[in-house]
Structure 1
Amino acid sequence: MKTSPRHGLARVLSKCGLCSRTQAAQWIADGRVEVDGRVVRDPEFGVVQGRHRVTVDGNPLDQPQRRYLMLNKPRGLVTTANDERGRDTVYRCFDGAGLPWLAPVGRLDKASEGLLLFCNDPAWAARITDPDMGLDKTYHVQIDTIPDERTLAALEGGIIESGEALRASSARLLRAGEKNAWVEIVLDEGRNRQIRRLLAALDIGVLRLVRVAIGALRLGELGKGQWRELSAEELAALGR
């Protein structure tokens, strides 16, 4: 007979989309969570969903309404809920909106801008960030030089940096000024600070880095620091 898997209590709360795992652990430590009518203060306490009755502040653990949205992340914000160094986070953009707990789907570093997804559906987020989904990510990058065809080809050819293979799926010149230029770089995989590391290896400095698309979903005219819900058509397109 197949037995249902046990999961840690904090993980169960976060996977339901109610909160982050860090918040869940704090709720549990504060005595706000009960399992089968008994207060449990161990975030790793094993729970079998469907067998155990979990409540938070006396309320049953119901699935919240699923929300999916996009944010035009401003430069200078950290992609985290709570920053130990006290820096402003992307959640500042949601102040006063009355949204449920939403987690970022992927990341943008502090100095980067543009399209960032949020949801309270961990299973959907896992699919979107799965490399097998094949969702290209498109960036517009201002650099401190005018690239020639050889430089663009080098970005696509890739490098080995710190034991990692880094490359752009495609790179093309968008426009150029006297001393700098904008290039469009498309990635078909996600590695930490991949574009910055790739350009640094070619002795090219990044002035601005803006993610403008994830798959078919484009940032469009959404204002800096603004957010909106994804449409059913956009969700379907991402799901493909």
Structure 2
Amino acid sequence: MAETNEGIRLQKVLANAGVASRRVSEQLIVEGRVRVNGAVVTELGSRIDPENDLVDVDGTAVQLDTTKRYVMLNKPTGVVSTMKDERGRDDLRRFTKDWEERLYNVGRLDADTSGLLVLTNDGELAHVLAHPRFGVTKVYIAKVDGRVSAQTVATLTRGIELEDGPIAADKARILDSSGDSSLVELTLHSGRNRIVRRMMAAVGHPVVELVRRQFGPLHLGTLPVGRTRELTKVERGALLTLSRQETDAPPADGVETPASEEQETS
């Protein structure tokens, strides 16, 4: 609720958002570390509208809308990335029942892929994270058949031709290559259907297991398979910062059309 028709004092907004105490928030403002709608604000009497104004501290966005929920899930294999599967397969509903808000998945992982999936009720942020035109990076670890060579890694980053056009990994490296299998880490910003599996198959190393370890600024860390947790204040700030930056930026080069996002993306 606004203090006056002109809005709420900026230091109070920062304190309510959990950035710092009101006294420390005042210091941040005076030091020129706070921006409102992209402009530095140093006046302690400044008032803002938390519902419409965008605030960041030291370049990191501050979440002012407390009705928005952001949850990380380590999706198990065998679960489809939808809130209700028409074919009766195991879906995401059991992972969202502990929250009052109606949460939805951001993008998809196919049923055979485990790893980091974001659940939220923030439609604007979900659009930026999932839409192919913004090219948010994802990091996967793939266990593949055969011993992957340095030459193969070079091929993946240089680019290969698939049936739906050329594709190149942003980064690729071998984590382990011994025996009859290898562990490969791939960084991609593509949203194409089952892209990691198709890339590895194209270079002669079919995927045996696949997990997404990173999505944009978020890292799966030690979150057990099948468990959820709310994002931390730092993680929420990183996501919101990314969302605002990507919204203002031109589309990423070589990113697919929006239609491809309707497919399962790994």
- Relative to the length of structure 1, the TM-score reads 0.69
Aligned to 1:175: 176
Q: Give the % identical residues.
A: 40
Residue 127 of structure 1 and its aligned partner are, at CA, apart by 1.9
Amino acid corresponding to residue 87 of structure 2 in structure 1: R
Deviation string for 1:28-76 (max 9, x for gaps)?
A: xxxxxxxxxxxxxxxxxxxxxxxxxxxxxxxxxxx99211111000011
Residue 214 of structure 1 and its aligned partner are, at CA, apart by 1.3
Deviation string for 1:78-111 (max 9, x for gaps)?
A: 001111211101222334x244211101110000
What pairs up with 1:164-203 in 2 under 5 angstroms?
164-203=165-204
What pairs up with 1:1-240 in 2 under 5 angstroms?
65-95=67-97, 97-131=98-132, 133-238=134-239, 239-240=241-242
Distance across 1 between alignment mates of 2:173 and 2:155: 11
Distance across 2 between alignment mates of 1:92 and 1:177: 38
Aligned alpha-carbon RMSD (Å):
1.8
Residue 218 of structure 1 and its aligned partner are, at CA, apart by 0.4
The secondary structure found in structure 2 opposite 1:135 is coil
- Is this contact kept in 1: 2:96–2:103, CA < 8 A? no
Amino acid corresponding to residue 209 of structure 1 in structure 2: L
- Is this contact kept in 2: 1:75–1:111, CA < 8 A? yes
Gaps of 5+ in 2: 1-64, 243-266
The secondary structure found in structure 2 opposite 1:69 is strand
Q: How many residues align?
A: 177
Amino acid corresponding to residue 219 of structure 1 in structure 2: L
Distance across 2 between alignment mates of 1:64 and 1:217: 20
The secondary structure found in structure 1 opposite 2:152 is helix
Gaps of 5+ in 1: 1-62
The secondary structure found in structure 1 opposite 2:108 is coil
The secondary structure found in structure 2 opposite 1:196 is helix
Deviation string for 1:169-221 (max 9, x for gaps)?
A: 11100012311011100002221111111111122211111000112210000
Distance across 1 between alignment mates of 2:218 and 2:139: 10
Distance across 2 between alignment mates of 1:147 and 1:138: 18
Amino acid corresponding to residue 164 of structure 1 in structure 2: G
- Relative to the length of structure 2, the TM-score reads 0.62
- Is this contact kept in 2: 1:158–1:198, CA < 8 A? no
